[in-house]
């Protein structure tokens, strides 16, 4: 098939999917209750057992051709971590270094990987609307199709970002290129009807959360469980427990201007009970860069609160903290690494977001730690506007001062961490991707 035709077919598929999505959601409502109960069981009963690695003899007479995909920064970090694992596994098998080409950005090019497109850079400068972005992404898909037709990769290995990578996986299938998707989509949480199209697109999905294998198996998707790749990044970071003498509350309002504006003033306004119990509490607002320092200072001054802004050393700060309040996101897993008692919030300012949480979200929990544990280990609250401020303020104070409650936190957080699995997810991903490359018939 001509690359332009393949790209246009995927555009037609996307447009058709968007047009019928209201009908799919209406049909979903008839089975939503059953699917939620099934997901609840998956979360509660998940074992988190890592699947055995496949045995595969790599060819020694030619290098394997691997096509990587990374569409945004966090996915590219994992893709860049995957490259040395692919090379090391090939070398250990006596095979020549794989020929790797990618969709991605500077991190991959720094490793000597040629890229045919860079959606990562586009994501960093922001999107200019769905319709305005369509020509770019249709062109990207056409370029990927041309690459597949001309070079015949042995395997396509996209990382996360299903919005781009699932259409690309459909295209790769047209050229008989198998797909090993690293970080299976969280369709179980927000769009379970998409799993049928996903099953047709990918040959192997690698899961990172304990309940995902059983959920995907129910819908006929072939998976292998590799554990969470964030642990690879944390491999050199010591696991700590809260310092009993610490008086630091870590405040994590997010790292983007709009998210900070939405969360920080509300968070600081919820510290009254804690400040009454611990007048000399050290409130540390953690940020990775100094980009938003002025904004944070203005919000703190408006609240009339004394705070400390900590730039950089995230894990050093978390290791020295006693408790935390955090906006929901991947940062919650970093907090788990330090076993910090945490109150997790997802504050919305739009009724549409609140409606989506109440009527579309499928999961019993949204905080990653609670999904890992299969129960509410950390207090979590999603709310519109002011929400249950008094209740949350009390939970923050209790997480900091109530020793009985802190002891429960310690045991529950240890349990959740065990279910997260061991480090080495990216090495396991490399093993599964290489096995699919040499045994595509297994799909």
Q: What is the DSSP letter of 179?
A: B
Ranges in the chain annotated CATH 3.40.50.2000 = 3-229+423-442, 248-420
Query: Does 392 score more than 60 pLDDT?
Result: yes
How crowded is residue 110: how many other Cβ atoms within 10 Å of its Cβ? 9
Alpha-carbon distances of 136 from 59, 97, 157, 228, 412, rounded to whole Å: 37, 32, 21, 31, 46
* Separation of alpha carbons 131 and 126, rounded Å: 14
Q: What is the pLDDT of residue 378?
A: 95
- Nearest 5°: the CA angle 162, 168, 172 is 135
What is the architecture, at CATH level 2, of domain 248-420?
Answer: 3-Layer(aba) Sandwich (3.40)
**Contact of 356 with 382, CB cutoff 8 Å:** no
Identify the band that residue 127 occupies on the pLDDT scale cut at 50, 70 and 90. very low
Placement of tokens 């900590």 in the chain: 310
* Separation of alpha carbons 133 and 116, rounded Å: 18
Q: What is the pLDDT of residue 129?
A: 55
pLDDT digits (tens, 9 = 90+) for 24-81: 888 888 999 999 999 999 998 888 899 999 988 899 999 999 999 999 988 999 999 9
**Contact of 433 with 180, CB cutoff 8 Å:** yes
CATH superfamily, domain at 3-229+423-442: Glycogen Phosphorylase B; (3.40.50.2000)
Q: Which two tokens stand for residue 80?
A: 């860049």
- Comparing 356 with 337, the larger pLDDT belongs to 337
240 conformational bin, left if phi > 0, alpha if psi -120 to 50, beta if neither: beta
Q: What is the pLDDT of residue 321?
A: 97
* Separation of alpha carbons 180 and 23, rounded Å: 30
Q: Which residues contact 146 (CB under 8 A, 6 or more apart)?
A: 3
- pTM for the full predicted model: 0.89
Question: Average pLDDT, whole number, for the chain?
Answer: 91
Query: Does 442 score more than 70 pLDDT?
Result: no
Identify the band that residue 128 occupies on the pLDDT scale cut at 50, 70 and 90. low
């Amino acid at each position: 098939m001509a690359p332009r035709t393949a790209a246009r077919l995927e555009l037609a598929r996307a447009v058709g999917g968007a047009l019928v999505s209201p009908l799919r959601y209406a049909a979903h409502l008839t089975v939503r209750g059953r699917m939620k109960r099934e997901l609840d069981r998956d979360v509660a009963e998940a074992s988190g057992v890592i699947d055995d690695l496949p045995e595969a003899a790599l060819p020694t007479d030619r290098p394997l051709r691997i096509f990587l995909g990374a569409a945004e920064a966090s996915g590219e970090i994992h893709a860049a971590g995957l490259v040395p694992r692919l090379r090391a596994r090939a070398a250990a098998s006596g095979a020549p270094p794989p020929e790797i080409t990618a969709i991605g950005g500077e991190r991959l090019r720094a490793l000597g990987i040629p890229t045919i497109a860079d959606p990562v850079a586009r994501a960093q400068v922001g999107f200019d609307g769905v319709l305005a972005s369509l020509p770019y992404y249709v062109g990207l898909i056409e370029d990927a199709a041309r690459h597949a037709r001309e070079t015949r990769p042995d395997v396509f290995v996209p990382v996360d970002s299903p919005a781009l990578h699932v259409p690309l996986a459909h295209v790769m299938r047209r050229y008989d290129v198998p797909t090993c998707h690293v970080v299976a989509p969280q369709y179980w949480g927000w769009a379970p009807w998409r799993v049928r199209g996903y099953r047709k697109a990918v040959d192997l999905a690698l899961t990172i959360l304990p309940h995902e294998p059983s959920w995907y198996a129910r819908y006929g998707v072939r998976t292998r469980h590799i554990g969470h790749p964030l642990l690879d990044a944390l491999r050199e970071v010591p696991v700590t427990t809260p310092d009993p003498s610490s008086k630091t509350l870590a405040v994590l309002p997010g790292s983007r201007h709009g998210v900070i504006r939405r969360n920080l003033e509300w968070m600081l306004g919820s510290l009254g009970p804690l400040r009454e119990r611990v007048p000399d509490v050290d409130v540390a607002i953690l940020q990775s860069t100094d980009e938003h320092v002025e904004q944070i200072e203005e919000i703190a001054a408006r609240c009339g609160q004394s705070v400390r802004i900590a730039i950089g050393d995230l894990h050093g700060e978390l290791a020295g903290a006693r408790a935390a309040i955090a906006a929901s996101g991947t940062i919650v897993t970093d907090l788990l690494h330090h076993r910090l008692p945490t109150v997790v919030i997802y504050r919305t300012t739009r009724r549409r977001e609140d409606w989506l949480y109440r009527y579309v979200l499928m999961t019993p929990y949204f905080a990653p730690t609670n999904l890992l544990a299969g129960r509410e280990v950390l207090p979590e609250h999603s709310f519109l506007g002011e929400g249950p401020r008094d209740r949350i303020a009390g939970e923050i104070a209790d997480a900091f001062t109530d020793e009985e409650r802190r002891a429960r936190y310690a045991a529950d957080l240890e349990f959740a961490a065990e279910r997260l699995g061991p480090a080495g997810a990216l090495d396991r991903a490399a093993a599964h991707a290489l096995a699919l490359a040499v045994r595509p018939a297994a799909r």
